[in-house]
Amino acid sequence: VKSIAVLTSGGDSQGMNAAVRAVVRSALYHGLEVYGVQRGYQGLLNNDLRQMDLRSVGDIIQRGGTILQTARCKEFLSPEGQQQGADVLRDRGIDGLVVIGGDGSYQGANKLSKLGIKTMALPGTIDNDIPFTDFTIGFDTAVSIVVDAINKLRDTMTSHERSSIVEVMGRRCGDIALFAGLASGAETIIVPEVPFDIDLVANRMKDNFHSGKRHSIIVVAEGASTGDEIGRGLMERCDVDPRVTVLGHVQRGGNPTHNDRILASQLGDFAVRMLMEGKSGKGCGIIRGELTLTDIEKVVNTKKPFNMELYNLALRLSL
């Protein structure tokens, strides 16, 4: 591999810039040429690439979003689109590609790998829904944003003896709700992985009230239900008027935490080194401190296991 490209794709996440920086700097350090593709696979099809130098990625390690921008690209779903993408890279003499994104972006990288482009995929998504890595780039920052929001809600809830429902992101994966809920002492955590019963949630709230708790926090992942739906269910069952806060895209913004920057730096550098070793069609991750490679095929066909131990811990501690 002599020349590589890097792109960000799907939803953006904090730390994508740190990952782009690591890919570019590591490639240059190792004497490779490196190109940035603007707006994901769409930019690839539009031949929207520019050569990067050391300064192209200056002053971005601390920024949210992605300087390469991101997009969803329908054309790239077809074999013709994928062939066109591979041709664009080949015409420019680029033989390696690092894709930073979620599940769908991984599948795109795999298709390009089958067309002879050496590809590595990095988990760039706040949802933490990519298996074979403990954490995805952006997750840590998203969780701290939710924890910070719940801290603020707590102040006013305690003063007014109110309950709060906080709806967070996570369509298939409840990790943001789980980690933020545990870290902020939520009474109830509702995630897509664990079936919930609104009667039990209501009873828990009543029990807590009788044991002297005058406020409670419920964190719900969007993939399990909505804040409004839970709120209506509780109003029908207990004498409460819970306030619903939907955090939305706030969770995807802001400066990445040091954990996300370090994860992104390690993974970006690892991806470049693995491309230089001739590896392709792999997802990069860190499991218990160890850098790992897993076939993209396996990554996209495996559901990330849910951490029931943490979930049960949160339940035990929230009495």
Instruction: List the binding residues for ATP.
Output: 11, 72-73, 102-105
Q: Establish whether 127 is a catalytic residue.
A: yes
* Cβ within 8 Å of residue 103, ≥6 positions away: 10, 125, 129, 130, 300
Cα 227 → chain centroid: 21
Residue 91 belongs to what H/E stretch? helix 79-91
Q: Which of 12, 95, 127, 260 is catalytic?
A: 127
Among residues 144 and 251, whose Cβ is nearest to ligand ATP? 251
* Cβ within 8 Å of residue 250, ≥6 positions away: 145, 149
Which amino acid would we find at residue 244?
V
Instruction: Look at the block and give the residue holding tokens 């690591």.
Output: 22
Q: How far is the CB of 241 from ligand ATP (least distance, A)?
A: 34
Torsion of CA 128, 133, 134, 138, to 10 degrees: -40
Residue 77 makes contact with ligand ATP by CB under 6 A? yes
Burial class (CB in 10 A: 0-12, 13-18, 19+), 226: middle
Extract the runs of DSSP E, i.e. beta strands, from the chain.
3-8, 33-37, 49-51, 96-101, 118-123, 163-168, 188-190, 216-221, 243-246, 282-287, 290-295
Q: Judged by CB under 6 A, which stretch of 97-105, 152-160, 225-233, 273-281 contacts ligand ATP?
A: 97-105
Residue 10 makes contact with ligand ATP by CB under 6 A? yes
Residue 43 makes contact with ligand ATP by CB under 6 A? no
Residue 107 makes contact with ligand ATP by CB under 6 A? yes
Annotated binding residues for Mg(2+): 103
Residues paired with residue 165 on neighbouring β-strands, in sequence order = 218, 244
The binding track of 22-41 with respect to ligand ATP, each residue x by CB under 6 A or -, is: -------------------x
Instruction: Look at the block and give the residue holding tokens 């990519």.
Output: 130
Alpha-carbon gap, residue 261 to 258, rounded angstroms: 5
Among residues 127 and 187, whose Cβ is nearest to ligand ATP? 127
Count CB neighbours of 54 within 10 A: 11
Q: Which of 43, 64, 85, 101 binds ligand ATP (CB under 6 A)?
A: 101
Residue 103 makes contact with ligand ATP by CB under 6 A? yes
Alpha-carbon gap, residue 309 to 319, rounded angstroms: 17
128 contacts 136 by C-beta, under 8 angstroms = yes
Length reported for the chain: 319
Query: Helix, strand, coil: what percent of the chain each, to 5?
Result: 45, 20, 35
Specify the pairing of strand 96-101 against strand 290-295: unpaired
Residue 131 makes contact with ligand ATP by CB under 6 A? no
Q: Judged by CB under 6 A, which stretch of 29-37, 69-77, 85-93, 217-225 contacts ligand ATP?
A: 69-77
Among residues 10 and 181, whose Cβ is nearest to ligand ATP? 10
Q: How far is the CB of 38 from ligand ATP (least distance, A)?
A: 14
Total residues contacting ligand ATP by CB under 6 A comes to: 17
Q: How far is the CB of 248 from ligand ATP (least distance, A)?
A: 14
Q: How far is the CB of 76 from ligand ATP (least distance, A)?
A: 4
Q: Which of 57, 69, 76, 269 binds ligand ATP (CB under 6 A)?
A: 76
Q: Which of 8, 9, 128, 163 binds ligand ATP (CB under 6 A)?
A: 9
Alpha-carbon gap, residue 101 to 8, rounded angstroms: 6
Q: Judged by CB under 6 A, which stretch of 84-92, 104-112, 189-197, 262-270 contacts ligand ATP?
A: 104-112
Q: How far is the CB of 103 from ligand ATP (least distance, A)?
A: 4
Q: Which of 38, 66, 125, 144 binds ligand ATP (CB under 6 A)?
A: 125
Q: Residues in the site for ligand ATP, rule: CB under 6 A?
A: 9-11, 41, 72-73, 76-77, 101-105, 107-108, 111, 125
Known catalytic residues? 127
